[in-house]
Amino acid sequence: MSLASLSPDMREYISSLAHEEIFNPDESRGLKYLRERDIDEKTIRDWKLGYCPSHVRDLIFNDRITIPYRDQYGKQIAIAVRKVEGEKPVWWNESFEKGKYLFGLDKAKKSIYKNNLAIVVEGQFDVISLHKNGIDAAVGVCGADFNLHRLSMLSRYCNRVILAFDSDDNRAGQTSSDKTFKLLKDRNMHVFKWFFPKGKDPDLYVREKGGEICRQQIRKIVKSYKMKDRSNYNSEYYFG
């Protein structure tokens, strides 16, 4: 079996089977891994996270966490799988046009529309951890550029965006953040940046600081720009 050749029915079947398996007391590695990342049972069920045990024949799924990838309407379009430990690459993703979607938008869109604010992060666990901690306007780019299609999709719900990309040593996160910032700014979105200490990403940061502190920081970021102050329009705002 190949991730690239999964039918929609098979994709749903694998996700459902893996989701049931993660609660199997005889196969506790997946559940233990997620709990070590402070992901509780409610979050596992909300996101339908799963686990394929080590005896699964297909090496793509063997000993991996499964994460369903859904479109903005909640329809599953792909599966991402993450190795619990050991060999690389850590992540495998079913082949699909990532640039047409934002991970978590199906769950985040109500909050984004209500507050006229989206928080754009990089990875699946960044999104999941922020949602778990009450920051439910988070969506993820998950390894693909923030392009015009994603901009068009997001602009249906808001015109304010906080970029919360990883703080890494090789500047990959910063480069991606800069490119995304320019794209959004050039199309009249109100854009902010949320910086993290060196070596931290949103997942680690919110687990360390807690949801309330992070929500306070988000409010401070937004207050740094007054919508009526046209003289500062399209300026770049930093926090952190």
Q: What is the pLDDT of residue 215?
A: 96
Q: Answer yes or no: do 14 and 117 share one domain.
A: no
Q: Answer yes or no: do 75 and 157 share one domain.
A: no
What dihedral angle (degrees, nearest 10) is formed by the CA atoms of 71, 76, 79, 85? 90
Q: What is the pLDDT of residue 143?
A: 84
- In 10 A of CB 106, how many CB atoms? 17
What distances in angstroms separate CA 201 from CA 46, 165, 173, 197, 211, one per listed residue? 22, 7, 10, 8, 14
Instruction: Compute the Cα dihedral for 175, 125, 169, 83 and give only its sign.
Output: negative
Q: What is the pLDDT of residue 168?
A: 61
Mean pLDDT by 10 residues, the chain (240 residues): 68 92 89 95 97 82 93 94 81 87 98 96 96 97 91 94 77 74 87 88 95 94 62 43
Q: Answer yes or no: do 200 and 92 share one domain.
A: no
Q: Answer yes or no: do 136 and 44 share one domain.
A: no
The neighbouring-strand residues paired with 139 are: 120
Number of structural domains (the chain) is 2
Q: Which helix (H) or strand (E) holds 5?
A: none
Q: What is the pLDDT of residue 155?
A: 94
Contact 32, 90 (CB under 8 A): no
Q: Answer yes or no: do 85 and 180 share one domain.
A: no
- SS3 at position 71: coil
What dihedral angle (degrees, nearest 10) is formed by the CA atoms of 172, 106, 154, 197? -30
pTM of full prediction above 0.75: yes
Instruction: Compute the Cα dihedral for 8, 13, 18, 20 and give only its sign.
Output: positive
Q: Answer yes or no: do 111 and 91 share one domain.
A: no
Q: Answer yes or no: do 222 and 110 share one domain.
A: yes
**Which residue, chain included where needed, has tokens 């994603």?**
150
Contact 166, 122 (CB under 8 A): yes
- In 10 A of CB 225, how many CB atoms? 15
Q: Answer yes or no: do 147 and 214 share one domain.
A: yes
Which range of residues forms the domain containing residue 59? 3-96
* Domain finish residue from 55, 70, 96: 96
Q: What is the pLDDT of residue 152?
A: 94
Q: Answer yes or no: do 47 and 74 share one domain.
A: yes
> What CATH number has the domain bearing residue 92?
3.90.980.10
Q: Answer yes or no: do 106 and 76 share one domain.
A: no
Q: What is the pLDDT of residue 91?
A: 85
Closest CA to 173 of 135, 199, 138: 199
* Domain finish residue from 96, 126, 141: 96
For 72, the token pair is: 């903005």
Q: What is the pLDDT of residue 172?
A: 61
Q: Answer yes or no: do 113 and 129 share one domain.
A: yes
Q: What is the pLDDT of residue 41?
A: 96
> What CATH number has the domain bearing residue 136?
3.40.1360.10
Q: What is the pLDDT of residue 102?
A: 97
* Domain finish residue from 28, 62, 96: 96
Q: Answer yes or no: do 91 and 37 share one domain.
A: yes
Contact 81, 109 (CB under 8 A): no
